[in-house]
Every structure is written in structure tokens, then in C-alpha cells.
Chains A and B, each alone.
Chain A
């Protein structure tokens, strides 16, 4: 089963996203900031990460940088940024930092789920062909 890790400091946002992912038949993990998210990644190896940008302790950009520099084993894990930060500077920082896509809140859940399903298809195809993602 595919596992999605949802990282957001807003508990209501996490809850709504987790419900949506679970309805789609995926397993979910939750974290309230980048540091907790990284711990979750190291302990549970999620297949996809959905991550906010502005969070205490470690923000989304810092988590992406931490993955790229110190945890390359996760560098191919699809990383979806989902944030209220709509400015170009943050968008470019997220995409250049390695995010798969940069979505802004409020998000159309159909669009988010289309992206999740796209990632799942790719992961399953890679698994079927013997390539890890």
C-alpha cells in the first residue's frame, strides 16, 4: 500500500488532507513540522510527502534542503509542497529545492488528488519494472 506523509502545523489542514488520502485508499502519516516530518521519513519511509512551507522548528524549504544534503535516500521521494505562500520567491525556492510540484492553499482537492494519483502510478510502474523510486 502507498503511504503519504502529510506535514503541516495546522491540525485542521492535516485532518482534512488525511481524510481525503484515506478515502483514496492510501495509508497516511502525520507530522506537525519539518523536523517531525524528517523523523517520520527515517522511521517509516513514506512513498509521497505533502508538505507545508511555513512551519515552526523546521520549515518546508529547510526540510527539502536537509533531504538533499543529508538524506539523499529520500531525494527521489515525490515531495508536494502545499502552502499559503503564493509569492514567486517561495515558489521558485520550492521547485529549485526539489519539490515535485508547488500547490497553493486553498487547494482544489481534485487537483491535489490528480497529482497524488500521478505519483502513485509512477511509483507502481517503477516497482513493476524493478526500479525503486
Chain B
């Protein structure tokens, strides 16, 4: 199944390159741009997949560690959304990040992976519902991020097993996936002392909410 995940973006890159190299006439700039964007989007998709697999490997071997540093969670999420928009230009990702604090101590690299995985899921399981909503807010000692799609959703029976490695919801049948993404998200969130919840209605969509405690200064120092 993982080979299949790689082969799809590879096929897009390969076909776009073949189309360009087989062209017998001068290539119009617009066409060249279109093919370049197709290739760029497919490469970004492969990089995401590769990073997810590396993260899964680190989790399996216990080699993943959290290095908290003050960072802008808002900028981090905006960067994830920017990348996702490149990969999935057919979707509209709406952001409301005004409620986030200016700075928070997080392992930026791993939280970026978690947010990217949630965005990837939201797009993948909402092929015909282009709107995805990302919201961030602070509530006392916790920051929260929600990712909401209006896609295929899943059965309530599948929710308890959703974060288990390699689990695929029944409604995901026919949609390519490795089943590792949400497990990585949960591991990363729990390494930050946080929680993740999922709510879903079949045919109506899914909401994921990450809650991460704001760590106190002394704890930050211990972590450092």
C-alpha cells in the first residue's frame, strides 16, 4: 500500500515530464507553467509522504524526542496551510488563528508534521467538499487547533481505533492511504503532554481537535 502511495505522485511527475519531452513543437509558456506546477505539487506530496514515514519509523523505534523552543504556532500553521494549498489547489483552506498566543514553547518540527498530517487527511477524505477549516485558540493554560472537513466522515464504531497504527476507517475504502498519519499525530501530541479528539458523522465530515498544555517556565527549563 505504501508503494502505491509513492507511485501515484511519481506517475504524475513522470507523465508530465513525458508530455513535455514528447512535445514536437515549441512549448507555450502557459503549458510549461501548468506542467511545472503539476510536478511541483507531486514532489511536495512525495516529500510529505516520506516525512510521515520517517516520523513513523522514529516513533516505532522510540527515537523521536521533543525539543521545545519558543515559536510562533500561527506562523507554523500558516506554513503548513501554504504547502497544502500547493499540493491540493482544488481545496479551499480557511484559517482563523487570531486566538493563538504570539509565542509558545513547542517542538516546531514535530507539531508541523502533526498539523500537516491533519490537513492531508482533511483534503484526502473530502474529495468533493473543497472547504477545510483550521482554527487556533488559547483557553487558559491550553492551546488548541481544530481541523474540520465536510467530507465522507466515518462510522462511530471506527473512532475508538482511529489513532491506532495502520488502522483505516471503513469509509476510507478506495482512498489511498497508509494508516500511519493519525497515529503519528497522536504520538506527537502526547509527547507534548496534550490530547487529540475526533468527532465524525458519516457523509458529513470530521473534526479533529488538538489540545496542548502551555508549559510553565520551570518545566520548559527542565525540558531544555
A-side interface residues toward B, CB under 8 Å? 9-13, 15-17, 19-20, 32-33, 54-59, 84-86, 104-109
B94 within 8 Å of A (CB atoms): no
Which residues of chain A are within 8 angstroms of B38 by Cβ–Cβ distance? 12, 15-16
Query: What are 19 A-B contacts with C-beta separation under 8 Å?
Result: A10-B12, A11-B90, A13-B12, A16-B16, A16-B19, A20-B15, A20-B19, A54-B175, A55-B174, A56-B127, A56-B173, A59-B173, A84-B7, A105-B11, A106-B13, A106-B14, A106-B15, A108-B18, A109-B15
Known pairs A104-B7, A105-B10; list 15 more (Cβ under 8 Å): A9-B127, A9-B175, A12-B41, A13-B8, A17-B15, A19-B19, A54-B174, A54-B176, A56-B174, A58-B174, A84-B11, A106-B10, A106-B15, A109-B15, A109-B18
Residue in A19, A20, A33, A84 whose CB lies within 8 Å of B8: A84
B-side interface residues toward A, CB under 8 Å? 3-4, 7-8, 10-16, 18-19, 22, 38, 41-42, 90, 127, 152, 173-176
Which residues of chain B are within 8 angstroms of A108 by Cβ–Cβ distance? 18
**Which of A12, A86, A107 has the most chain B CB atoms closer than 10 A to its own CB?**
A12
Which residues of chain A are within 8 angstroms of B11 by Cβ–Cβ distance? 13, 84, 105-107
The answer to whether B12 and A109 have CB atoms under 8 Å apart is no
The answer to whether B12 and A16 have CB atoms under 8 Å apart is yes
Which residues of chain A are within 8 angstroms of B174 by Cβ–Cβ distance? 9, 33, 54-59
Given A84-B7, A86-B7, A109-B22, CB of A12 within 8 Å of CB of B12: yes
The answer to whether A84 and B15 have CB atoms under 8 Å apart is no
With both chains docked as a complex, state the minimum distance between the C-beta of A34 and any C-beta of chain B, in angstroms.
8
The answer to whether A106 and B7 have CB atoms under 8 Å apart is yes
Chain A residue with Cβ nearest B11: A105
The answer to whether B90 and A105 have CB atoms under 8 Å apart is no
Which residues of chain A are within 8 angstroms of B10 by Cβ–Cβ distance? 105-106
**Which of A16, A17, A20, A86 has the most chain B CB atoms closer than 10 A to its own CB?**
A16
The answer to whether B4 and A84 have CB atoms under 8 Å apart is yes
Which residues of chain A are within 8 angstroms of B18 by Cβ–Cβ distance? 108-109
**Alpha-carbon distance A53/B18, docked complex (angstroms):** 22
With both chains docked as a complex, state the minimum distance between the C-beta of A21 and any C-beta of chain B, in angstroms.
12
